[in-house]
A and B are shown apart, each in its own frame.
Chain A
Amino acid sequence: MWKKEDESAQDQEHWLERERVAPTTTQKQRAVIGRSISIRGEVTGDEDLLIQGRVDGSVKLKRHSVTVGVDGVVKASISSKFVTVEGKVEGNLSAEEQIVLRSSASVQGDITSPRIIIEDGARFRGGVDMGEGEEKGKPSTRPAAKSKRERKSKDQEPEIITTPVENGAEVRESIEAV
């Protein structure tokens, strides 16, 4: 009885793990770049890819998903439909549908996708473009809109007023100009 439950739990964990690694794709086979494999150059293809080794160059799998596993080290741009990062990436990421940076991820580069998820603990340094691609919607560069209060303040010099401290309140003091 216990064994059966254990097996069931393991089975569930296995499926959760599969879902976690490739949340958006089907359960079909995918290519794997193993831990001891190192590739320099352009990786292209027509199936999903899991990178556990090292890739320097570029990865282009336009209609599929690319997962950089926990042990994966990628110094390359990745262009795909779905991108999931659990390892290290130095390069730009672009996905038509979604990019997920798992908690173990470390990414340095720019990422472009309409849907971007950054889990707690993930390290990321770079730019994020959540547009639908350059062709579909070029972002405008309009400056920030001003509130009524700020519009009013534009003609005034800021005035600093000190107010007494209210003990216990989270915001104990408020010094406001305008």
Chain B
Amino acid sequence: MDWLTRVGPPTTGSDVRAPEARKGEERSTRGVAALLDGVHEDRSHSVLDLGTAAGSSLQLYGRFAQRVRFADILSHVPSIHGGPNLVDALPPQPEAPYDLLFAWDILDCLFPYERPRLIQRLAEISSIDARLHVIVDTSDSEIRQALRFTLLASGRMLCEPTGANQPSRGRMLPAEVEKILLPFQVVRAFTLKGGLREYVAVRRGAGH
């Protein structure tokens, strides 16, 4: 019976533990650095941030854009997790299409059927060659923690847990992410410590 001691008790569904609570931590973001690489700091661009507004993020965006929109999708429409109000939470048609889009980890917060709708909307309101930044949790955990991302510089961000844990909506593999993001085409991807993966995608027109 020695093997039983070595192997330990069987695990059940209830034994699955939530991931270790992440504290707010500053970390590098090569994805954002890649997204902003080569973008002229002439404030001629337009930025859409689907996350929470933050002064330091605005300061960074202000180097590239005169117009910035913080959609704060998740916190303003709690019922988004139920699905039907996603469309209401999406940003309205802008005067000028967005060139730089930051979706952070919003795909992870949506049900699988909602993800293509979000990307479709982003495609509708973005310019040709617009750049999109997305973060996806690649861990196997059944529980995910809602995170808030604040940009501190083009290659640095603050990642903070914002509250209650949510059940995972299902892990997205790289191929699946690439498919969901169409017509944005993934050009770069980075995996960060903690199981987060950053994707940088560029919107391709019909001719590409």
Contact = CB atoms under 8 A, between A and B. Distances in A.
A141 B38 contact: no
B37 A126 contact: no
Contact of B39 (A123, A140, A145): A145
Contacts of A158: 185-187
Chain B CB within 10 Å — which of A116, A123, A127 has the most? A127
Contact of B37 (A124, A131, A147): A147
Contacts of A137: 66
Contact of B55 (A119, A174, A176): A119
B22 interface: no
B169 interface: no
A88 to B, nearest CB: 13
Interface string B19-53: 00000000110100000011110011110000011
Contacts of B46: 139, 141
Contacts of B38: 145-150
B130 interface: yes
Contacts of B71: 125
A170 B192 contact: yes
Contacts, number: 128
Interface in B130-183: 130-131, 174
Given A139-B66, A142-B45, A144-B100, A172 B72 contact: no
A150 B30 contact: no
Interface string A163-174: 000000111111
A146 B187 CA distance: 12
Contacts of A172: 191-193
B37 A144 contact: no
Interface string B89-120: 00000101101100000000000000000000
B68 interface: yes
B129 A146 contact: yes
A158 B68 CA distance: 29
Contact of A174 (B37, B45, B131, B191): B191
A128 B58 contact: yes
A37 interface: no
B174 A175 contact: yes
Contacts of A139: 43-44, 46, 66-67, 96
A122 B53 contact: yes
A9 interface: no
B128 interface: yes
A170 B58 contact: no
Contacts of B187: 150, 153, 158, 177-178
A93 B184 CA distance: 34
A150 B188 CA distance: 10
B208 interface: yes
A143 B99 contact: yes
Contact of B44 (A142, A149, A154): A142
Given A118-B53, A128-B69, A144-B39, 9 more contacts: A123-B53, A127-B67, A127-B69, A128-B70, A140-B44, A144-B129, A153-B187, A158-B186, A170-B192
Interface of A: 108, 116-120, 122-131, 137, 139-150, 153-154, 158, 160, 169-178
22 contacts: A119-B55, A122-B53, A123-B53, A125-B71, A126-B69, A126-B70, A130-B67, A131-B66, A139-B67, A141-B127, A143-B129, A144-B129, A144-B130, A145-B38, A145-B39, A158-B187, A171-B191, A172-B193, A175-B174, A175-B188, A175-B191, A178-B187
